[in-house]
C-alpha cells in the first residue's frame, strides 16, 4: 500500500505561491533584495546580529565550520543521533570527527557524557575545536551547561538547529547565539519552514559573518578595502580564498519570508498535535517524548520508543505494519557512525550504547501542520493495533 499519511510535509499557501510568481516576473532571480530581507527578518526574530542564507543546511554547516577556523587536523564532536550533515561538515574541513552519546530522555547529546569525554580528552591532549549540539526534534540542548564547558575546555559551539527554528531555551529563541559562536537552520521541505532547499547561519561575531559571506560566493570580493593588489578598474574583483558556490536564490528567499510569517501558527499547531498524541498514546506500551522544563520545542518530529518487553512484536514488525497501513513512519536516526563512510574511518559499530538502544526502539510518527485530527486518530488506531494485537 502507498503512504497515505507521511511523517512530515510542507504547507504551501496561496500567498507563498503569489510571492514566488512575483519574483519570477521581477528583475532578480538570484542575488536580489529578498536574500538580505530574509536574513534580517530571521536574525531579528532570533535576536542574533548577523545571518547568512545559503543553498542548504548542509552548506550552512560546512561554511560555519570553515568560518570558525576548523582545519585539517582539527577535531569536531557531535551527537550520533542526527542527520549525517552534522558530522560531515567536520570531514569537509579535513577535521577528525567523534561522537558523544545521547541522553536517554531527550535523545540530545548528553552533557554528562560530554563532560566525561572532555576530561579524558584533556588528559590525552585531544580536546575538540568545535562541538556541534543538535537540537533533536526541536528540543534545545541544555545550552548553559554546554557554554560553561566550552569556556572551561576551550572549544567553540556550533548549534545544529535544523529542527528547531521557533523553539526556545530559557528566555531566548533558538538562533540567538547567546550560547554559541553560530547556529544553523535548514529549510528543506520537511523542516518547520521551507524554501525548497535552503539553510542559514546566524552569528553575533562580525569576523565570522564576513568570512561566511565570502565562503558563500566562491571567495570573491568586490569590496576594495579587502583587495590584496591595486584595482584594475570598475570591473575588478578578487578571489581571496577558495570559497564555494552556496548561494540561495531570490525566489527561495522570498518564499522563506512568506513561510516565516506563519511560523508561530506552524509551531502552535505542532505543539497542539503533540499534546494530543501525548493524551491519545498515554495507555500504550510506548515512551512519549520527554521535555526538559527549560525548553519549548516546535516539535519538528514526534518520536516514540517501543517498550519491547511489554509487546510480543519486534521493532521492525511494528514499523512494517504501520507502513503497510499507509502510515509513513520513519526512524530518526541511524547512529551516524554506522554509515559506511564512518565505519571506514574506524568507528566501532556500537560505540554509543544509549544511541544504540534508542535506535532499536524509536519510531517517528506523522506530525506536521496540515495533519488533521482525523488522520492523527488513524495513526493512533494503526499503532494501537500494531502494538496490542497478536
Ligand X SMILES: *Cc1c(COP(=O)(O)O)cnc(C)c1O
Nearest to ligand X of 86, 203 (CB atom): 86
Q: In this structure, are residues 172 and 144 in contact, taking their beta carbons and an 8 Å threshold?
A: no
Nearest to ligand X of 128, 199 (CB atom): 199
- Indicate the Cα dihedral angle 22, 27, 28, 32, nearest 10°: -100
Residues of this chain that interact with ligand X (CB under 6 A) are 56-58, 82-83, 85-86, 134, 160, 162-163, 186, 188, 199
Q: In this structure, are residues 152 and 25 in contact, taking their beta carbons and an 8 Å threshold?
A: no
Nearest to ligand X of 199, 289 (CB atom): 199
Nearest to ligand X of 62, 269 (CB atom): 62
Q: How many CB atoms lie within 10 A of CB 207?
A: 10
- Residues near 125 by beta carbon (within 8 Å), at least 6 away in sequence: none
Angstrom distances, CA of residue 111 to CA of 135, 142, 259, 292, 376: 13, 8, 34, 13, 34
Q: Minimum distance from CB of 164 to ligand X (Å)? A: 9
Q: Minimum distance from CB of 353 to ligand X (Å)? A: 21
Q: Minimum distance from CB of 139 to ligand X (Å)? A: 12
Residue 54's beta-bridge partner residues?
199
Nearest to ligand X of 83, 277 (CB atom): 83
| Residue 130 to residue 140: CA distance in whole angstroms | 18
Nearest to ligand X of 365, 387 (CB atom): 365
Peptide bond into 65 cis (omega under 30): no
Q: Minimum distance from CB of 138 to ligand X (Å)? A: 10
| Residue 342 to residue 90: CA distance in whole angstroms | 12
Q: Minimum distance from CB of 88 to ligand X (Å)? A: 9
| Residue 367 to residue 318: CA distance in whole angstroms | 18
Nearest to ligand X of 217, 330 (CB atom): 330
Q: Minimum distance from CB of 143 to ligand X (Å)? A: 16
Q: Minimum distance from CB of 323 to ligand X (Å)? A: 21
Q: Which residue is nearest to ligand X (CB)?
A: 57
Extended strands (E) in 71-164 = 75-78, 96-99, 130-132, 156-160
Nearest to ligand X of 177, 281 (CB atom): 177
Print the SS3 string covering 320-336. HHHHHCCECCECCCCCH
Q: Minimum distance from CB of 100 to ligand X (Å)? A: 15
Nearest to ligand X of 136, 284 (CB atom): 136
Task: Name the pairing type of β-strands 286-287 and 302-306.
Answer: antiparallel
CA neighbor of 303 nearest in space, from 215, 261, 364:
364
Alpha helices in 217-296 (DSSP H): 250-260, 263-280
| Residue 295 to residue 328: CA distance in whole angstroms | 28
Q: In this structure, are residues 94 and 73 in contact, taking their beta carbons and an 8 Å threshold?
A: yes
Q: Minimum distance from CB of 185 to ligand X (Å)? A: 9
Amino acid at each position: 500500500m502507498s503512504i497515505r499519511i507521511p511523517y512530515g510535509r510542507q504547507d504551501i499557501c496561496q500567498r507563498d505561491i503569489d510571492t514566488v510568481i512575483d519574483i519570477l516576473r521581477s528583475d532578480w532571480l538570484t542575488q536580489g533584495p529578498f536574500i538580505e530581507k530574509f536574513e534580517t527578518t530571521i536574525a531579528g526574530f532570533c535576536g542574533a546580529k548577523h545571518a547568512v542564507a545559503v543553498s542548504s543546511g548542509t552548506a550552512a554547516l560546512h561554511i560555519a565550520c570553515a568560518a570558525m577556523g576548523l582545519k585539517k587536523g582539527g577535531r569536531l564532536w557531535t551527537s550520533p543521533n542526527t542527520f549525517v550533515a552534522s558530522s560531515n561538515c567536520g570531514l569537509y574541513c579535513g577535521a577528525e570527527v567523534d561522537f558523544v552519546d545521547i541522553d536517554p530522555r531527550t535523545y540530545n547529546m548528553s552533557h554528562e557524557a560530554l563532560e566525561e569525554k572532555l576530561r579524558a580528552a584533556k588528559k590525552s591532549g585531544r580536546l575538540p575545536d568545535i562541538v556541534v549540539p543538535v537540537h533533536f526534534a526541536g528540543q534545545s540542548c541544555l545550552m548553559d551547561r554546554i557554554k560553561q564547558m566550552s569556556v572551561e575546555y576551550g572549544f567553540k559551539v556550533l548549534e545544529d538547529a535544523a529542527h528547531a527554528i521557533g523553539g526556545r531555551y530559557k528566555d531566548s529563541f533558538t538562533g540567538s547565539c547567546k550560547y554559541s559562536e553560530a547556529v544553523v537552520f535548514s529549510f528543506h521541505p520537511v523542516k518547520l519552514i521551507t524554501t525548497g532547499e535552503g539553510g542559514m547561519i546566524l552569528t553575533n561575531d562580525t569576523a565570522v559573518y564576513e568570512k561566511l559571506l565570502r565562503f558563500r560566493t566562491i571567495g570573491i570580493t568586490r569590496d576594495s578595502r579587502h583587495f590584496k593588489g591595486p584595482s584594475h578598474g570598475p570591473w575588478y574583483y578578487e578571489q581571496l580564498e577558495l570559497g564555494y558556490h552556496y548561494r540561495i536564490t531570490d525566489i527561495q528567499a522570498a518564499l522563506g519570508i512568506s513561510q516565516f510569517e506563519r511560523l508561530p501558527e506552524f509551531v502552535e499547531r505542532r505543539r497542539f498535535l503533540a499534546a494530543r498524541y501525548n493524551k491519545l498514546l498515554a495507555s500504550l506500551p510506548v515512551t512519549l517524548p520527554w521535555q526538559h522544563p527549560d525548553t519549548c520545542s516546535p516539535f519538528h518530529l514526534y518520536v516514540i520508543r517501543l517498550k519491547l518487553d511489554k509487546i510480543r512484536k519486534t521493532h521492525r514488525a511494528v514499523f512494517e505494519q504501520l507502513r503497510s497501513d499507509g502510515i509513513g513512519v520513519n526512524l530518526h536516526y541511524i547512529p551516524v557512525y554506522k554509515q559506511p563512510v564512518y565505519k571506514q574511518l574506524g568507528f566501532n559499530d556500537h560505540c554509543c550504547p544509549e544511541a544504540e538502544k534508542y535506535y532499536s526502539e524509536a519510531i517517528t510518527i506523522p506530525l506536521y501542520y496540515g495533519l488533521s485530527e482525523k488522520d492523527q486518530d488513524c495513526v493512533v488506531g494503526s499503532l494501537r493495533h500494531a502494538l496490542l494485537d497478536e
